[in-house]
Chain A
C-alpha cells in the first residue's frame, strides 16, 4: 500500500498506545495508517547443525506442545538428518491444529526436496538463505506481514526503523532511534546510506513492565529509584502497572519507577543482542540519539536524557533529542510506505559528552550568549546550560559538535557510573516532592 491522500496533504496516522491511540495529521474522520505493535507471532527456528542433540530437540519440540504460527528452517546439505528429526517432531506436535503453521525453508533444492515429505501436509515456502542483507530483509518482511492484520497497519518496530532511516538521511550522520513504549523496546541504528541494524524486545514500561522485572530482577530496577522502596511494594506497583494500560504516573515515585523500568528495558535489549553475537558498540557510540515513545513524553527533558545516557551507557559525544509526542513514529510510519518530512518533529535536548580524560582538558562552548571555556578533569560531572545555536570544541583534539537550541545544554560526564543522587541533582531530573 502506498500512501497518497486526495488532498495532497500529509497522511494522517493513528499511533496506538497501550489502551488508546493518538492521531497525528490533518484528518479528523479517520486515519490513513495505524501504528500498532501487531499480533504476536510464535516463530519456531530450525537451524541445522550436524552435531545437534537430535533426540533432545525432538523431545523439546514434542514436550513443549509447540504451536508456532511460522517455522523458519535454515538447512545445509549436511544438516538434513538433524533437521528432519526436528521437523518430524514439529509435525507431530502441530498435526490437526485448526491453523497450521507457515513453513519457510532456506536451503538448496536437493535438501528442500528431502525435507519436504516430512512436512506434508504443511505448505512449504522456499525463501533465500539469510546470508545476504537483502535476503534477511525479505524474511523479516514476510514475517512482519504475518503480524499485520490489515493493510493500513504499520508495525511499531517497522516505524521505528523507518524513522531512524529518515533522520539519518536528513542529518547525514549515523542516528540511533531509541523507542521505549508500554509493550516494547526498540533500538534502530541507521546510516545515511539507509542501512539499519535494529534490536527489538518485548520489554516495556507499561503492559510488559512485569517482564522487565522478571528479566532484570527487582533489585536492578530498584537501584534506579532515588528513594528507599521495599521490594514487595515495588513489585505490586509493577504488577498493577502491567495490568493497567496507559496508567498515568501521577507521583514522582511512579515516574521514577517508569524511568527505572525504561533503563532496564533498554539495557536488557542490548544485553540480549550481545549474547546473540551482535556488537552493541555502535549503538553506544552513535553520534545522534533520538528518543521516542514513553521516554520522550517524560515531563522534563532531563528525565529523557538521563534515561537514555544511563541505559545506553553512551560513549563519546552524542547529540540527544526527543520526538514531539508520537510525531516521529508517525513520520516513520509514513516513511515506511513512501517519503516523510521529519522537520519540526524532533526537539534537541543536549550534547552529551561521556569521556575519561587522561589529563585535564578544556572544553569550549559557544552559544548565543558568548563563549565559555570549561576545564574538565576526571570525575567532573556537570551541565552547562546553553542558549541558541551551540558549537562545542574539545581542546587538544579534533572533536567538535554543534546543535540548534538545546533544551538542556551540554552534559559532561567524566565520571564512570556517577552516583544516582548526583546525576539527578546535576540535571534537576526529578522534583523532590514525594521523594524525600
Chain B
C-alpha cells in the first residue's frame, strides 16, 4: 500500500486518495483547437520510471496533490501542492 504525504495533512494511506493520472499535461486555452484538446485528454507517455501524477485526497482534505512517483518501483520522491514544481530525478 502506498503512503502518500499530502502537503496539507501529512502522510496518509493510499486508500484515502483517488488517482487521476498524468500531471504533466494541462488544459489548453479555449481556442487551442481539437488537436491540443485531444492530446490533453488522450495522449499519454506511459513512462517507465519517474512520473508526475495527480492524486485527489478525496478521503481527506479534498485537495489535489501532485506526486512524483516511480512507476517501476512505486517509490514516491516528492509530493506537492497543485502549483508546486517537482523536478524529476535525472
Partners in one complex: no
